[in-house]
Amino acid sequence: MSTARYAWSIPGFPVERPGADPANPEIWCYADRYSYLPGEEVALSVHTTAPSYDVRVVRDGAEPVEVWSAADLPGVAHPTPEDAYAVGCGWPVAVRIPVGPDWPSGFYLVVVGIEVDGRRHEREGFFVVRAPRPSADIALVLTTGTLAAYNDWGGANHYRGLGDDPYADIPAPVLSSRRPVARGMLRLPPGAPRNANPATPGPGYRPRHPTYEWAITHGYSRHHSDAFWATYERHFVVWAERHGYRLDFLTQQDLHDDPAALEGYRCAVFVGHDEYWTWEMRDVVDRFVDAGGGVARFAGNYVWQVRLDDEGRQTCYKDPRLDPLLATDPTRVTTTWDAPFVGRPGARTMGLTGLGGAYARYGATTPRSSGGYTVYRPEHWALAGTDLFYGDVFGAAPVCVAAFEVDGVDYTFRHGLPYATGTDGAPEDLTIVAMAPAVLGETDRWDGEVPIGAPLAEMRDLVAAVWGDDVPERFATGYGAGMVASFRRGAGEVFNAGTTEWVSGLVHHDPFTEQITHNVLRRFTGQQEESR
């Protein structure tokens, strides 16, 4: 919300759009939809300055498999609207990719490449193949809402890009899915840093954001590590496939479009940075849990309501005063779910909310915290077989499972145990299993001289815009907590790991994080007996 000048806003991050750097060869692509069924065709649009290009389609995961390719395709550079981020690129269809009847459900990378002066240049697109009917107990739902929000290809996203002042973060409220995906959100080289600081600093700390520095050095989007496949879901899929779990793949768009999208599954999984949802998506999840399904949320930052239209555009104003629906249909205003006029607190669906936690071990937010979760209810079923005791910490630095953006609720302590107060819509039977300290944003102690990636002022501006003069007491200090929690709803159950960085525990083979993940998946797929 704030337009204050912070050091990290200084120009330097590459912005991808045709003609941005005439000296660089260009190739980009995008599919007309996020997901397809076997037997359908993917309509791929391609822009390139090279005379010819090639295409490879790879089902990504623990063992990537190339399923389709084409070479020596004629290259064409197409006119692109200045506001392609909002209206779409409008490029014609260049290639039609037939989805084979035997292609399994999964995430498919589309790699387009050119050869210029003896050097190869590649960029990526993607699509998901859905199963025509459930072929697994688990449906992995990809976070396409968050992808749309952070994708800054074309120059803008839901965070910045508009206006003439390069230091002012003016977001675009409307974003199109019919454009390429910013570099790094679909593919990353091994060793790319994550949005958490693994080193614990000594006195005199001056915050750094390794992902920003890496992006500038290597020519990736400033937001490459903020959203989607390469940083989040892919790591979970690799881990799950190597441990024998079968997954069907869906996108959030599928939940939005199809009220029956989760029917026939026993468990719905959400992974990583999962921040943006529509009302319709929540309806699908709530009905699924009420009917006996299990939601395994290995994700964090559940905050915003968005709207989707039939042209692939996502709308999110964030500041409710800017949304035209405030006067006519306040329940659908695109702002935080916890806004009183929306009337649907986020914790009612997921048990936790991004406004109950926010940031940890990121820049100037809790930089010397453990980076892990402190256990408070070691007897909980999710901790079975972990050998964790009360007060133990798991996933601590350098793993940092409780880092970047975390979710929690308003809580109090009684006799050494945390309990939800319910003032923010948390379920009455919410069981808080583990916790980590968090803050609503970074406090600038360096007068703008060092990077501040999540200014506390922005969160305070949002709270004031939503609640006006009646700001709830829970926001008074700016402090909160990330939480691992569970609750039952109807005939089903929700487990919420409460953090975007849960997958870091899987990447680093943290035995506690892995065992908890197994416990949740096995319980929700019926592979272990119910325990309390």
Residues 362-383: b if buried by 16+ CB within 10 A, e if exposed: bbbbbbebbbbbbbbbbebbbb
Model pLDDT, residue 1: 33
- 365 DSSP 8-state letter: B
Answer yes or no: is 327 within a domain: no
Model pLDDT, residue 24: 87
Same domain, 172 and 301: no
For residues 361 and 403, the answer to whether their CB atoms sit within 8 Å is yes
Q: Could you count the other beta carbons within 10 Å of the beta carbon of residue 188?
A: 19
Model pLDDT, residue 22: 79
Residue 529 predicted with pLDDT over 70: no
Model pLDDT, residue 10: 47
CATH number at residue 164: 2.60.40.1930
12-21, 77-86, 338-347: segment of lowest average pLDDT = 12-21
Residue 436's beta-bridge partner residues?
482
Model pLDDT, residue 209: 87
Q: Average pLDDT over the chain, rounded to whole?
A: 94
Answer yes or no: is 468 within a domain: yes
Structural domain boundaries, residue 350 = 296-314+346-524
Answer yes or no: is 208 within a domain: no
Answer yes or no: is 478 within a domain: yes
Question: Once rounded to an integer, what is the mean pLDDT over residues 483-496?
Answer: 98
User: What pLDDT, in 10s, does the model give residues 127-178?
Assistant: 999 999 999 999 999 999 999 999 999 999 999 988 776 666 789 999 999 9
Q: How confident is the model at residue 42 (pLDDT cuts 50, 70, 90)?
A: very high
> Residue 23: which residues within 8 A CB-CB, separation 6 or more?
none
Model pLDDT, residue 530: 44
> Residue 79: which residues within 8 A CB-CB, separation 6 or more?
90
Question: Once rounded to an integer, what is the mean pLDDT over residues 304-319?
Answer: 96
Residue 70's beta-bridge partner residues?
55
Model pLDDT, residue 8: 44
Same domain, 300 and 432: yes
Total domains present in the chain: 2
Q: How confident is the model at residue 14 (pLDDT cuts 50, 70, 90)?
A: confident
User: What pLDDT, in 10s, does the model give residues 220-266?
Assistant: 999 999 999 999 999 999 999 999 999 999 999 999 999 999 999 99
For residues 125 and 112, the answer to whether their CB atoms sit within 8 Å is yes
More confident residue, 187 or 21: 187
Query: Phi then psi for 530, rounded to 5 degrees?
Result: -65, 140
Q: Where are the beta strands (DSSP E) in 245-402?
A: 247-251, 267-273, 276-277, 294-300, 304-305, 307-308, 313-315, 353-360, 373-375, 393-394
Answer yes or no: is 252 within a domain: no
Q: What is the 3-state secondary structure (H, E, C) of 205-241?
A: CCCCCHHHHHHHHHCCCCCCCCCCCCCCHHHHHHHHH
What whole-number distance in Å separates Cα of residue 103 and Cα of residue 117? 36
What whole-number distance in Å separates Cα of residue 167 and Cα of residue 408? 32
Residue 373 predicted with pLDDT over 50: yes
Model pLDDT, residue 532: 37
Answer yes or no: is 307 within a domain: yes
Residue showing tokens 């096995």: 522
Q: How confident is the model at residue 12 (pLDDT cuts 50, 70, 90)?
A: low
Answer yes or no: is 401 within a domain: yes
Q: Where are the beta strands (DSSP E) in 10-77?
A: 27-31, 35-36, 41-48, 52-59, 65-74
What whole-number distance in Å separates Cα of residue 454 and Cα of residue 472? 21
Q: How confident is the model at residue 7 (pLDDT cuts 50, 70, 90)?
A: very low
Model pLDDT, residue 398: 97
Model pLDDT, residue 285: 98
**Apex 16 CA angle, 189 and 185, nearest 5:** 35
Q: Which of 142, 176, 210 corresponds to the end of one domain?
A: 176
For residues 480 and 358, the answer to whether their CB atoms sit within 8 Å is yes
Query: Three-state DSSP class for 320?
Result: helix
Q: How confident is the model at residue 451 (pLDDT cuts 50, 70, 90)?
A: confident
Q: What is the DSSP string of 293-312?
A: -EEEEEEE---EE-EE-TTS
Q: Could you count the other beta carbons within 10 Å of the beta carbon of residue 191?
A: 6
Query: What percent of the chain has pLDDT above 90?
Result: 88
Q: How confident is the model at residue 2 (pLDDT cuts 50, 70, 90)?
A: very low
Model pLDDT, residue 6: 41
For residues 261 and 254, the answer to whether their CB atoms sit within 8 Å is yes
Answer yes or no: is 22 within a domain: yes
Residue 500 predicted with pLDDT over 60: yes
Q: Which of 176, 199, 223 corresponds to the end of one domain?
A: 176
Model pLDDT, residue 295: 98
Residue showing tokens 């700390």: 205
Question: Could you tell me the two tokens for 466?
Answer: 């939503």
Q: How confident is the model at residue 501 (pLDDT cuts 50, 70, 90)?
A: very high
Q: What's the predicted TM-score (pTM) here?
A: 0.95
Model pLDDT, residue 163: 77
Q: Which of 155, 176, 197 corresponds to the end of one domain?
A: 176
What whole-number distance in Å separates Cα of residue 503 and Cα of residue 425? 27
Query: What percent of the chain has pLDDT above 70?
Result: 96
